């Protein structure tokens, strides 16, 4: 509890003149586990203060007390919709520290797992974006179609949400025989559905009116503020870690990185929409190109030691560029794991973009940044 005489460090109940401060807080249908303190003047937002930390669990500190492999389930649970994407750079960093190289089949399987998670995460984003704008059909359709891809993740990983599939040395198990047919069927169905999504939502005149010109992030601001992921690509920069710094056989599959110069909510939405399409193409190509062979170089020991060193590794998760800085001091537990999550890098977009908009734009802009509070709070 607060000591007597000490007040909270930020204003919540200050109403002076025409200003009204409301807390789009943790218990709000439009916020997630996160609070934005919005100071309103009439209908225009004068100031927006993000207040993160509601679900802070101290993942970075906990990582120092567990072995390298034990950290994989711990770190996965910070980003549930995109579990494989979150753990991919950590495993790359640990492999570099320990000097292990994953076989080719494992690298293609890692691509498939990461892209499946990208589709799942984007569909979750879309399924919440609809109700944030008031569009209830856009809650049911993406969540329903997402089930197909959750089933695919279950086929390769074992569970739907946190399969802990990517481990140092390769992947945990091989895919069964029916995976290829199941995947191609799901992709064929969903490519057809993407056209219906376009007609219903992305070309809907009311949605266009509510997202075009709203929350504009121009190019120089995006670079200076450190914004990452589809938000950066929606401001005209064609920057994707999969192309800029290729890892794990991404240079053998052929895909395009969508980007739009507008910088408003509509541009960010369209980037994610096309990323869904390209992820499916990547999965199809990876299934074709996957060689047969071992899927794991060797089973890592639980108490495997890593020689002293430090590594910075990064990949492109669904929400943006995810990077890890792992320091090892020679024991079997990491000395320091610094998790740099895309949502935490994007949090600075919230006060910058919400200022000057309407109250009704707050959910539209906030969710178009695809901010996942659990991930940002680690």
Partner 1 sequence: MSEPNDFENFLRRVATLVFWLLLLVPVIIFPIAFFGSLFIPKQILEFLFHSSEPNILFVLINKAQNPFLAITEVNDFLGLGPCVPAFSYIPPPNCSPTFFRIVVFPGFTFVALITLWLGWYERKLVAKIHMRYGPLYAGRISGVLQPIADLLKLLFKEIIVPAKADKPFFVAVPLLTMGISAALLAVIPLSERVFIIPPESASLGLLVLFAILGFYPIIILMGAWASSNKFSFIGGLRALHQLVSYEIPWFLSVLGVVVLTSSLDPFQVVRAQSNIWFIVPQFIGAFVFLTAAMAELERIPFDLPEADTEIVFGWLTEYTGMNWGILFGLAPFIKLYVFSGLFTLLFLGGWLGFASLPPEIWFLLKTFIVINVIMLVRVFNPRIRVDLLIRFGWVYLILLAVANLFLAVALKALGVF
Partner 2 sequence: MSASPTVEQGLADAVKARFGEKVVEVKSKPTRVKISVDRAILADVAYFIRDNLSFDHLVSVDGTDYPKDNVIELIYHVTSIEKQEQRKYILSLATKLPRDAPISPSLVSVWPAAEYHERETFEMLGIEFTGHPKLEKLLLPEDWLDIPPLRKDFKLPGR
Binding site for partner 2 (CB under 8 A): 1-3, 6, 8-10, 52-53, 56, 58, 60-62, 65, 223-227, 232, 237, 239, 244-245, 310-312, 314, 321, 323, 325, 327, 335-336, 338, 340, 344-345, 347-348, 377-378
- What is the smallest separation between the CB atom of 147 and partner 2, expressed in angstroms? 33
- Residue 360 sits in the site that holds partner 1 (CB under 8 A): yes
- Provide the token pair at 3: 């000591």
Within 13 Å of residue 261, how many CA atoms lie on the same side as its CB? 0
For the chain, strand residue ranges (E) read 19-24, 35-41, 44-51, 166-167, 170-171, 309-316, 321-328, 336-340
- What is the smallest separation between the CB atom of 371 and partner 1, expressed in angstroms? 15
Paired sense of beta strands 166-167 and 170-171, if any:
antiparallel
Q: Which is nearer to partner 1, 302 or 360 (CB)?
A: 360
The window from 97-105, 155-163, 182-190, 353-361 that contacts partner 1 (CB under 8 A) reads 353-361
Residue corresponding to tokens 């909270």: 8
The window from 50-58, 85-93, 124-132, 309-317 that contacts partner 1 (CB under 8 A) reads 124-132
Q: Which of 246, 251, 283 is nearest to 109 (CA)?
A: 283
107 binds, among partner 1, partner 2, none (CB under 5 to 8 A by kind): none
Q: How far apart are CA 189 and CA 193, in angstroms?
A: 6
- Provide the token pair at 16: 């002076």
- Residue 97 sits in the site that holds partner 1 (CB under 8 A): no
- Residue 14 sits in the site that holds partner 1 (CB under 8 A): no
29 binds, among partner 2, partner 1, none (CB under 5 to 8 A by kind): partner 1
- What is the smallest separation between the CB atom of 121 and partner 1, expressed in angstroms? 20
- Residue 33 sits in the site that holds partner 1 (CB under 8 A): no
User: DSSP 3-state assignment of 293?
Assistant: coil
- Residue 135 sits in the site that holds partner 1 (CB under 8 A): yes
Choice from 11, 26, 30, 226 touching partner 1 (CB under 8 A) = 30
Q: How far apart are CA 368 and CA 378, in angstroms?
A: 21
Choice from 3, 9, 17, 29 touching partner 1 (CB under 8 A) = 29
- Provide the token pair at 98: 């320990």
- What is the smallest separation between the CB atom of 369 and partner 2, expressed in angstroms? 14
Residue corresponding to tokens 């190019």: 219
353 binds, among partner 2, partner 1, none (CB under 5 to 8 A by kind): none
The window from 61-69, 156-164, 297-305, 361-369 that contacts partner 1 (CB under 8 A) reads 361-369
- Residue 130 sits in the site that holds partner 1 (CB under 8 A): yes
- What is the smallest separation between the CB atom of 103 and partner 2, expressed in angstroms? 21
β-sheet bridge partners, residue 45: 40
- What is the smallest separation between the CB atom of 205 and partner 1, expressed in angstroms? 9
- Residue 359 sits in the site that holds partner 1 (CB under 8 A): yes
Print the binding letters for residues 168-207 with partner 1: x by CB under 8 A, - otherwise: --------------------------------x---x-xx
Q: How many other β-carbons are positioned within 10 Å of the β-carbon of residue 148?
A: 19
Residue corresponding to tokens 């984003």: 125
Helices 179-197 & 265-289 angle (0-180, nearest 10): 160
- What is the smallest separation between the CB atom of 25 and partner 2, expressed in angstroms? 14
Q: How many other β-carbons are positioned within 10 Å of the β-carbon of residue 152?
A: 24
112-134 as b/e: b if 16+ CB within 10 A: bbbbbbbbbbbbbbbbbbbbbbe
Please spell the DSSP secondary structure of 187-235, one letter per residue. HHHHHHHHHHHIIIIIT-HHHHHHHTTSS---HHHHHHTT--THHHHTT
Residues at the interface with partner 1 (CB under 8 A): 20, 22, 28-30, 43, 130-138, 140-141, 144, 200, 204, 206-207, 209-210, 358-363
């Amino acid at each position: 509890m607060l000591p007597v005489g000490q007040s909270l460090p930020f204003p919540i109940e200050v109403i002076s003149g025409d200003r009204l401060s409301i807390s789009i807080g943790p218990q709000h249908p439009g916020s997630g586990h996160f609070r934005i303190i919005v100071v309103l003047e009439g209908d225009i937002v004068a100031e927006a203060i993000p207040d993160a930390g509601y679900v802070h669990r101290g993942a970075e500190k906990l990582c120092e007390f567990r072995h390298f492999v034990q950290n994989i389930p711990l770190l996965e649970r910070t980003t549930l919709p995109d579990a494989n994407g979150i753990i991919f750079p950590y495993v790359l960093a640990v492999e570099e520290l320990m000097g292990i190289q994953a076989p080719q089949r494992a690298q293609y399987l890692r691509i498939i797992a990461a892209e499946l998670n990208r589709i799942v995460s984007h569909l979750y984003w879309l399924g919440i974006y609809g109700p944030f704008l008031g569009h209830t059909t856009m809650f049911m359709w993406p969540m329903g179609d997402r089930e197909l891809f959750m089933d695919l993740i279950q086929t390769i990983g074992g569970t739907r949400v946190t399969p802990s599939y990517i481990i140092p040395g390769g992947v945990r198990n091989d895919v069964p025989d029916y995976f290829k047919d199941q995947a191609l069927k799901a992709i064929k169905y969903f490519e057809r559905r993407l056209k219906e999504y376009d007609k219903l939502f992305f070309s809907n005149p009311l949605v266009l009116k509510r997202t075009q010109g709203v929350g504009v992030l121009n190019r120089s601001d995006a670079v200076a503020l450190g914004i990452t992921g589809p938000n950066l690509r929606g401001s005209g920069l064609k920057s994707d870690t999969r192309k800029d710094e290729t890892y794990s056989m991404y240079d053998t599959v052929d895909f395009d990185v969508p980007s739009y110069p507008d910088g408003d909510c509509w541009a960010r939405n369209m980037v994610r929409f096309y990323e869904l399409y390209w992820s499916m193409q990547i999965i199809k190509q990876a299934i074709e190109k996957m060689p047969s062979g071992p899927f794991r170089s060797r089973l890592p020991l639980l108490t495997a030691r890593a020689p002293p060193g430090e590594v910075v590794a990064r990949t492109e998760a669904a929400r943006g560029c995810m990077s890890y800085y792992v320091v090892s001091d020679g024991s079997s537990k990491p000395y320091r794991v610094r998790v740099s999550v895309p949502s935490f890098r994007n949090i600075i977009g919230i006060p910058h973009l919400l200022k000057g908009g309407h109250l009704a734009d707050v959910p539209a802009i906030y969710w178009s940044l695809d901010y996942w509070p659990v991930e940002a709070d680690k």
